[in-house]
């Protein structure tokens, strides 16, 4: 029995030992350095950005009071959310006729492009910063010894900085258009029944856009984080070392030339 149980125990311990070795090999003190600390912030705010935008949902509405004999009152509630393809969102507009029929209407606008680009960029930022943290904490020797890793990290960081600026600005503009298209006043203006004498329309509550506004703020915070991290990543590249070497090489030559000039004057 003991011989049969020993292989199973060693098999159970081997995955645990591998996990323990992996955790022991992580150098957590690297997180106290600017390069590691900013990557943690990038990882967190990427989650906040695509989470707040991708999980948003709101509603708008209006009330239509018909002037027919039945005095019908219809409450219209329209639900919308990410990815903000408003032209596919349907609602029923009462016609206020004797048969109490209705007509299918749609909201106006398609703002899925800036919203999906914003969320996609947040997801890619999340995965890249996670991989960079693993490389920086567990395999830091490869990061410092191999010159390609800092160069690739710098180029990717610059690219993400540019994309976050574009994504945050585009989604901010798109969100402004979403607010205009989902206002209750825009809903009543799009319904033909509200322009005649057969009905009286009143706007409902304005949609709450707090979570969507925060997503735009998170987008610009990500831009500033990636822009600030460009300098710390650049310091790890060979380009930074070459610049310092040239400065050190020019210093003595200028001093020697000045000394030679002083000797000739004497």
Choice between 245 and 29, residue whose per-residue pLDDT is larger: 29
Q: Which of 135, 147, 148, 132 is nearest to 229 (CA)?
A: 132
Closest CA to 181 of 214, 207, 219: 207
Residue 63 β-bridge partners:
75, 202
Q: Is 1.20.140 the CATH number for 30-235?
A: yes
Neighbour count for residue 176 (Cβ, 10 Å): 13
> Region 114-142: what's the mean pLDDT?
91
Give the pLDDT confidence score for residue 258 in this predicted structure.
44
Q: Can you state the angle between helices 210-234 and 34-54, rounded to 10 degrees?
A: 160
Residue 151 tokens read as: 């160069």
| Candidate ranges 76-80, 195-199, 202-206, 259-263; pick with highest mean pLDDT | 76-80
Q: In which band, very low, low, confident or very high, does the pLDDT at 13 lie, cut at 50, 70 and 90?
A: low
């Amino acid at each position: 029995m003991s011989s049969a149980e020993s292989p199973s125990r060693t098999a159970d311990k081997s995955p645990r030992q591998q996990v323990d070795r992996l955790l022991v090999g992580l150098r957590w003190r690297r997180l106290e350095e600017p390069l590691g600390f900013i990557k943690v912030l990038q990882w967190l705010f990427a989650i906040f950005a695509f989470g707040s935008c991708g999980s948003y949902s709101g509603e708008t509405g209006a009330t239509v009071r018909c002037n027919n004999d039945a005095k019908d009152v219809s409450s219209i509630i329209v639900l919308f959310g990410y990815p903000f393809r408003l032209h596919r969102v349907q609602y029923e507009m009462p016609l206020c006729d004797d048969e109490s029929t209705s007509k299918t209407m749609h909201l106006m606008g398609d703002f899925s492009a800036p919203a999906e680009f914003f969320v996609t960029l947040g997801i890619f930022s999340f995965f890249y910063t996670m991989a960079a943290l693993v490389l920086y904490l567990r395999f830091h020797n490869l990061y410092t010894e191999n010159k390609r890793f800092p160069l690739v990290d710098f180029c990717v960081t610059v690219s993400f900085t540019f994309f976050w600026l574009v994504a945050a600005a585009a989604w901010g503009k798109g969100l402004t258009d979403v607010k205009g298209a989902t206002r209750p006043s825009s809903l009543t203006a799009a319904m033909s029944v509200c322009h005649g004498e057969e009905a009286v329309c009143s706007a409902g509550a304005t949609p709450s856009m707090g979570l969507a506004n925060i997503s735009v703020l998170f987008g610009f915070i990500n831009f500033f984080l990636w822009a600030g991290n460009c300098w710390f990543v650049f310091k790890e590249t060979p380009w930074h070392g070459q610049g310092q070497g040239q400065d050190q090489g020019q210093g003595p030559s200028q001093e020697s030339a000045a000394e030679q000039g002083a000797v000739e004057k004497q």
